[in-house]
Amino acid sequence: MRPRELLLTLIIIAVLLVSGFGCQTPLATQSPTSAPATSTVPLSPAPSTPIVSPPNPVTPPALPPSTPSSSNLTPTPSAPLTPARFVLGDLTITPPVIMTGDQATYSIQVSNTGGTEGSYTVVFKYKSSGGAIGSNNVEVTLKPGETKTATFTTTPKESGTVFVNVNDKGSQYTVTSLPTPVRGVPATSASAITSPPPSMVGINTHTEVYGTGGDPGMITLGPKVGGQPGVTPYSGKHSMAWELKIHGTPVLAPLDMILVGFQNDNFYQIQNGQKILNSGLSLFFESASPDWPGMIIYVYHLYSSPLLLGHYQNPDCGECEGPPVNIQAQGRILPGNRDYVTDKGNAGSCQALMGYTVKRGELIGFAGTVPLGAGTHSFVDIGFKVSDTSENPLFGLKGTDTSGERVVQTGNPYLHWVQPGSFFYWKSYSPDAIFPAGVLAYPFECDGYQLPAEQRNVNFKYTVKK
């Protein structure tokens, strides 16, 4: 072979080797950086060799998604913590009646509904019917979601009714002396069992307003009969109705007295598409007059009262479709011949001004209405339990008050229901009127006297305790 032809053949072989033609080594095992293997190549042209396609590439297993390192994470901002927020439960006092020298315990639950720990100071404010006023503080520290009971124990030194409040939560208890004080009617107080007033001018001038009197079987002191002549009272009735005729007529205090309890039984019924109201609001007062020490005044069939700040203002204290199943009552309650202290039916929603003193002639409520046949009857009933040295033979009776069944009593057995129309002497109220000892003011506006205009609105409320 000539040198020129040999050179040409070598060039062709080199080109083929570089292009991989005729390579017998699988492509997947070749190192991309290895040098091509050298071999002895014949000078003659190489026989034809089929081209071997490289095998299918192997797919490596899928790797899990990469997770950034903690050093590269951006922290998620947390929601800000809410401050401590405190919610109070109901105020309770145990026991509800104690003797002088015994202990009473105030208790109220405090809950922290906020997101941080905090402290709350519970202020137990008290006022006694004897005039003592003060407060006691208890501090509680609560974690978020925690509830604790704040308690305070006290030993009252004087007898009477003690009213306790924590914010809008209220309760009360009674402190009695040993033995129960026995107070008779002062000889100077005009009444059916003492003597008439020195002058009868202006006395008993509105007997036309007298309604049904009390049941003679319930009257244990003084005259048995009273009220509108010829009208037979129902069994167990212990008061006299005042026929004020117009729904919402203002009712006035017959003497200075202190609010010690209430019961709200207002309800309505729908009859033939018409709303029929039955007014059952009752208020219980204790006399603040030296003419009638220890006397209880029971006013009922009221529609509303300025002494209950939440009545018909708070949806939880008003009237319900009835008859009522959730009666609200608080304080000292003296129905029939019983005498007890209670707090039930979310009574705190009514915001009663317990311990409030109303003066003679001041507003205490508005006359209510009850159904009567096809029409309605607007009036107010007022009963009086007078303290006497004799014991009430009916004390402790329950049920219809004639059943003979008695309950354990913690009240005063020396209180007696009387006939208001025949036991007391009455006179029209005016700011300049002079009342002889024992004479009571008619419980309504008369002889030209009227309350201020704003106090003739059934939604009027007192705003200041006194």
**pLDDT tens, 187-226?**
999 999 999 999 999 999 999 999 999 999 999 999 999 9
**387 shares its domain with 255:** yes
CATH number of the domain enclosing 359:
2.70.70.10
**148 shares its domain with 258:** no
The answer to whether residue 226 is domain-embedded is: yes
Domain that holds residue 286: 207-456
**317 shares its domain with 244:** yes
Global pTM reads 0.67
CATH number of the domain enclosing 90:
2.60.40.10
The answer to whether residue 5 is domain-embedded is: no
* 3-state DSSP of the chain: CCHHHHHHHHHHHHHHHHHCCCCCCCHHHCCCCCCCCCCCCCCCCCCCCCCCCCCCCCCCCCCCCCCCCHHHCCCCCCCCCCCCCEEEEEEEEECCEEECCCCEEEEEEEEECCCCCEEEEEEEEEEECCCCEEEEEEEEEECCCCEEEEEEEECCCCCEEEEEEECCEEEEEEEECCCCCCCCCCCCCCCCCCCCCCCCCCECCCHHHECCCCCHHHCCCCCCCCCCCCCCCCCCCCCEEECCCCCCCEEECCCCEEEEEEEECCEEEEECCEEEEECCEEEEEEECCCCCCCCEEEEEEEEECCCECCCCCCCCCCCEECCCCCCEEEEEECCCCCCEEEEECCHHHHCECCCCEECCCCEEEEEEEEEECCEEEEEEEEEEEEECCCCCCCCCECCCCCCCCECCCCCCCCEEECCHHHHCCEECCCCCCCCCCCCEECCCCCCCCCCCHHHHCCCCCCCCCC
**267 shares its domain with 143:** no
What is the Cα–Cα distance from 32 to 25, expressed in whole angstroms? 13
Q: Supply angle C-alpha 168, 126, 160, rounded to 5.
A: 125
The answer to whether residue 197 is domain-embedded is: no
**151 shares its domain with 219:** no
The answer to whether residue 147 is domain-embedded is: yes
The answer to whether residue 435 is domain-embedded is: yes
The answer to whether residue 17 is domain-embedded is: no
The answer to whether residue 212 is domain-embedded is: yes
The per-residue pLDDT for 46 is 42
Residue 71 has pLDDT above 50, yes or no: no
**214 shares its domain with 142:** no
The per-residue pLDDT for 3 is 57
pLDDT in tens, 14-32: 555 545 444 343 333 343 4
**102 shares its domain with 162:** yes
How high is the mean pLDDT of the chain? Answer: 83
**156 shares its domain with 215:** no
Report the pLDDT averaged over residues 340-364: 91
CA distances from 417 to 170, 250, 297, 396 (A): 29, 24, 10, 13
**275 shares its domain with 343:** yes
Residue 151 has pLDDT above 90, yes or no: yes
Report the pLDDT averaged over residues 347-374: 89
Residue 88 has pLDDT above 70, yes or no: yes
What is the Cα–Cα distance from 96 to 340, expressed in whole angstroms? 8
The per-residue pLDDT for 48 is 43
**98 shares its domain with 237:** no
Question: Whose structure tokens read 């002191």?
Answer: 221
The answer to whether residue 172 is domain-embedded is: yes
Which segment, 126-135, 259-268, 317-326, 359-368, is predicted with the most confidence on average?
A: 359-368
**235 shares its domain with 384:** yes
pLDDT in tens, 256-303: 999 999 999 999 888 888 888 889 999 999 999 999 999 999 999 999
The per-residue pLDDT for 141 is 95
Total of domains in the chain = 2
The per-residue pLDDT for 407 is 61
**140 shares its domain with 247:** no
